Structure 1
Amino acid sequence: MTEPSVDLDAANAMWDAYVATGAVPAGTAPVAFDVFGDGPALADELLGLVLEGRKRGTATLEAEVTHVGEIAPAVGDHWVMCDGSGVPRCILRTTAVDAVPFDDVGEDFARSEGEGDGSLATWRAGHRAYWERMSVRTGVPFGGDSIVLAERFTVVWPPEVADA
């Protein structure tokens, strides 16, 4: 599977429209133009949960962030989230990040991800399958002691989907 190519012109236009509101200082840049998951169908499914208001959390393995040379998420970060075709659909702002071993992720965080039935068991099964799949592709090891960056966010743009 390959990640979709982000429509950078449209993503930058969305970001510029957000900056023009004065919500962030001129010259500020988002930390990423991104998609959820590891393929177009999963990206669309997870973005759909965001747009429905069910998903306000996401998880990344700390080792994945290090492996690809990214900076770990931080409170206040903004990122443009795209659909499975790479079209920007909303801007998210990180509100909390906790580094937790996979086996210690709690029910409250699992619910914040909005996936499946919202239970911790479903969260663990889905994320274990995802990270095991990613481990094969990236070589980043995964296990119960793997550190998860449990990130919470709010939707800030565009106004028709932004959180109140």
Structure 2
Amino acid sequence: MENRSAAALWQSFKSRSQNVPDHYEAWAFGDTEEMADELAELVLAGKKTATSSNYTLYELEQEPLPKVGQHHVLLNGKGEAVAVIVTTAVTVIPYNQVTEEHAFLEGEGDRSLAYWQDVHELFFTRELETQGLAFHPEIPVLCEQFKVVYRR
């Protein structure tokens, strides 16, 4: 089912931009309404320009990996479109090799690697448990950078 808010924001973006693809994905960060709102606000404030995902889930769910140049409509916790973002970099590295720079770009907490590790270990553990898997420090992490190209 199409998200009307995302479709409206996408059409507005397309009418003001050139060389925009027809396809986009609409999604929210996190796994709760509160987390989605908090992370969307960080994006809109310019503090969050990166994210990380559990690469194992892409493989298990046979989801395509994000690609540089791919556009996404970012949703808040209520499913309302707040921005169009475009992916600028994608790498896959082990969890224990995520850098201070990437943690800083994620914009969360005090922006330190220690904070990033604390919250992402918990988040990835929850995700893996739903698949009957366990967290370990070498799990592959998809690190993605993006920029906001349009906001409502």
Q: What TM-score do you get using the length of structure 1 for normalisation?
A: 0.87
Find out whether 1:73 has 2:69 as its counterpart.
no
Task: Give the secondary-structure state (helix, strand or coil) at the position aligned to 2:42.
Answer: helix
Percent identity (aligned): 34
Q: State the alpha-carbon separation in 2 of the partners of residues 43 and 23 from structure 1.
A: 29
What amino acid is the match of 1:68?
A: E
Find out whether 1:131 has 2:112 as its counterpart.
no
What amino acid is the match of 1:76?
A: G
What does residue 105 of structure 1 align with?
Answer: 98
Computed over aligned residues only, the root mean square deviation of the Cα atoms, in angstroms, reads: 1.6
Cα offset for 1:141?
4.2
Instruction: Check the 8 A contact 1:7/1:86 in 2, yes or no.
Output: no
**Which consecutive residues of structure 1, in runs of 5 or more, have no partner in the other structure?**
1-5
Q: State the alpha-carbon separation in 2 of the partners of residues 102 and 137 from structure 1.
A: 19
Task: Give the secondary-structure state (helix, strand or coil) at the position aligned to 1:138.
Answer: coil
**Which consecutive residues of structure 2, in runs of 5 or more, have no partner in the other structure?**
none
Q: State the alpha-carbon separation in 1 of the partners of residues 30 and 90 from structure 2.
A: 18
What does residue 84 of structure 1 align with?
Answer: 77
Task: Give the secondary-structure state (helix, strand or coil) at the position aligned to 2:52.
Answer: strand
Aligned residue pairs: how many? 152
Task: Give the secondary-structure state (helix, strand or coil) at the position aligned to 2:93.
Answer: strand
Q: State the alpha-carbon separation in 1 of the partners of residues 133 and 37 from structure 2.
A: 25
Cα offset for 1:139?
3.3
Find out whether 1:149 has 2:105 as its counterpart.
no
Q: What TM-score do you get using the length of structure 2 for normalisation?
A: 0.93
Q: State the alpha-carbon separation in 2 of the partners of residues 16 and 139 from structure 1.
A: 40
What amino acid is the match of 1:134?
A: E
What amino acid is the match of 1:73?
A: P
| Higher RCO (CA < 8 A, seq sep 6+) | 2
Find out whether 1:39 has 2:32 as its counterpart.
yes
Moved segments of 4+, more than 6 Å: none
Q: State the alpha-carbon separation in 2 of the partners of residues 61 and 105 from structure 1.
A: 12
Q: State the alpha-carbon separation in 1 of the partners of residues 30 and 11 from structure 2.
A: 25
Task: Give the secondary-structure state (helix, strand or coil) at the position aligned to 1:155.
Answer: strand
What does residue 16 of structure 2 align with?
Answer: 21
Q: State the alpha-carbon separation in 2 of the partners of residues 156 and 64 from structure 1.
A: 27
Larger mean Cα displacement after TM superposition, 13-22 or 132-141: 132-141
What does residue 51 of structure 2 align with?
Answer: 58
